Amino acid sequence: MKRTRTGAVAASALASVLLLGLVAPAASAHPTTAPATQHLLPSSHAIPFTAATVTDHGDGTFTITWTAPGISHVRIYTGDEQNRIDTRHVVAQGGSRGSVTVTVTAPADRRWFRLAPDRGESLTLADRLVRLDGTVNFRDLGGYRTEDGRWVAMGKVYRADALNNLSDADLAKLRRLGVRTDVDLRTADERSAAPDRLPAGTKYVVDDVLGGSTTTTFNPTTADAAHQLMVDAEKTMVSSTTGKAAYTDLFEEVERRPGALVFHCSAGKDRTGWGSAALLTTLGVPADVVQSDYLLSNVYRADANAALLASMPAAAAAVYKPLLDVRPEYLQSGFDEVQSTFGSWNGYLTKGLHQNVLDRFVLGARLLEG
């Protein structure tokens, strides 16, 4: 059910929206790519970096790369918490473009790096993957630059695969990372067979995308049939009654819950993949970047998928492989469904997810930096 706000809060926020000039004509979805949406906040380009990543090699070494046109000098600092960066000691530095590898032996749940330019705002990033004993695809939704020069903040929203195998150490880590809400996109049968393990005090929310109490059965007999099943499933996530309701609530949970939030399904790639694509697209992340984030499930799930396929006869593995993959055409099927059913991305947000201008302002205020 759509939440309500007090009149005073709503009026104040709406006034801010109008003053900032956020009411814009609806943008049409591009027929072959993820559509751009109206900017949620006016751009100041306060963060000068146009690209930046942190890669954790798992051996105490980290590679930081960046591009910051017009910047003469970038200093890099590190810390064991996002808001506890040691700015007394420079661990690396460079010019407007760079790639450096540093060694940090001190333990940390996540190792954070702050890129501080000689002018403009700093950018604080970590490796996207959160290393846990019980998952392979638990990762940060942030760390992406939007079309108008902002950055999606890291450490606020995570996307994941199933959480039933989390260890006690994992639970302690998630608690320290500030995870306070868990949105479970799975069916009743999935939840019953593999119930989530959560840090004490975590709010647990069920948003069943597929609906019903019986797990959907996949029985394709050919690889082509399996591929088509995945294409059709993406459409269902967009326009089915249960899909619209689940993603409506996901957006609302992201907008209103304090602390960090994780949302997940079983593999963290399809239902979670569409939820991630919808959030990033609404925040203004470019279409090619949205697709790249979607396809990362192939990278993080590579070993688990290979092991599963190796346990099957070759003929069965060939049929099953499309069900394990994420492919560009799967995601594109979702965007095509948006276009055909709702006419535009803004139409999907308004008619499908009941997101108004105020909701988009709140989402941007919560998740965008710069």
Confidence of residue 87 (pLDDT cuts 50, 70, 90): very high
Res. 267: pLDDT tops 80: yes
The whole-number pLDDT of residue 44 equals 53
pTM summary value: 0.90
Task: Tell me the longest C-alpha to C-alpha distance in the chain.
Answer: 63
CB atoms within 10 A of CB 176: 14
Q: Where are the beta strands (DSSP E) in the chain?
A: 51-56, 61-67, 74-81, 84-86, 92-94, 97-103, 112-117, 123-126, 139-140, 151-152, 157-160, 179-184, 203-206, 260-264, 368-369
* Residue 12 binned pLDDT confidence (cut-offs 50, 70, 90): very low
pLDDT of 150 higher than 50? yes
Q: Across residues 64-73, what is the average pLDDT?
A: 97
Of the ranges 88-97, 195-204, 209-218, 250-259, which one carries the lowest mean pLDDT score?
A: 209-218
Render pLDDT for 157-191 as a digit per residue (tens, 0 to 9): 999 999 999 999 999 999 999 999 999 999 999 99
Q: Read off the pLDDT band of 16 (50, 70, 90).
A: very low
Q: Average pLDDT, stretch 113-124? A: 98
Per-residue pLDDT at 261 exceeds 70: yes
Q: With cut-offs at 50, 70 and 90, classify the pLDDT of residue 133.
A: very high
- What average pLDDT does the segment 8-13 reach? 33
Query: Which residue from 123, 124, 268, 108 is spatially nearest to 177, judged by alpha carbons?
Result: 108
The CA angle 153-289-68, to the nearest 5 degrees, is 65
* pLDDT exceeds 90 at position 88: yes
pLDDT value at position 218? Answer: 65
Count of C-beta atoms within a 10 Å radius of residue 44: 12
Q: Are 141 and 68 in contact (CB under 8 A)?
A: no
* pLDDT bracket for residue 21 (50, 70, 90): very low
Token digits of residue 72: 């003469």
pLDDT digits (tens, 9 = 90+) for 22-47: 223 233 344 344 444 444 554 456 99
The answer to whether the beta carbons of residues 210 and 241 sit under 8 Å apart is no
As annotated, the residues of the chain forming the CATH 2.60.40.10 domain(s) are 48-120
Give the 3-state secondary structure of residue 91.
Answer: coil
Whether the pLDDT of residue 199 is over 50: the answer is yes
Tokens at 111, concatenated: 């190792």
- The Cβ of residue 317 has, within 10 Å, a number of other Cβ atoms equal to 16
Query: Which range among 52-66, 202-216, 341-355 shows the weakest confidence by mean pLDDT?
Result: 202-216
For residue 37, which of 116, 137, 147, 133 has the smallest C-alpha distance? Answer: 147
Please choose, from the candidates 94, 155, 105, the residue with its C-alpha nearest in 3D space to the C-alpha of residue 130. Answer: 155
Residue 309 DSSP SS3: helix
Rg of the chain over Cα atoms, rounded to whole angstroms, equals: 21
| pLDDT of 368 strictly over 50 | yes
Instruction: Fold for 48-120, please state it.
Output: Immunoglobulin-like (2.60.40)
Is pLDDT above 70 for 299? yes
Helices first, then strands: H and E counts in the chain: 12, 15
pLDDT at 219: 83
Q: Looking at the domain that runs over 31-40+128-369, which CATH code has it been given?
A: 3.90.190.10
Question: Nearest CA to 164 among 209, 132, 129, 131?
Answer: 132
The DSSP element (H or E) to which 202 belongs, if any, is: none
Number of other residues whose CB lies within 10 A of the CB of residue 10: 12
User: Average pLDDT of 147-163?
Assistant: 98
CATH 3.90.190.10 range(s) for the chain read 31-40+128-369
Mean of all residue pLDDT scores within the chain: 89
Contacting residues for 26 by C-beta, under 8 A, at least 6 apart: 38, 344, 346, 347, 350
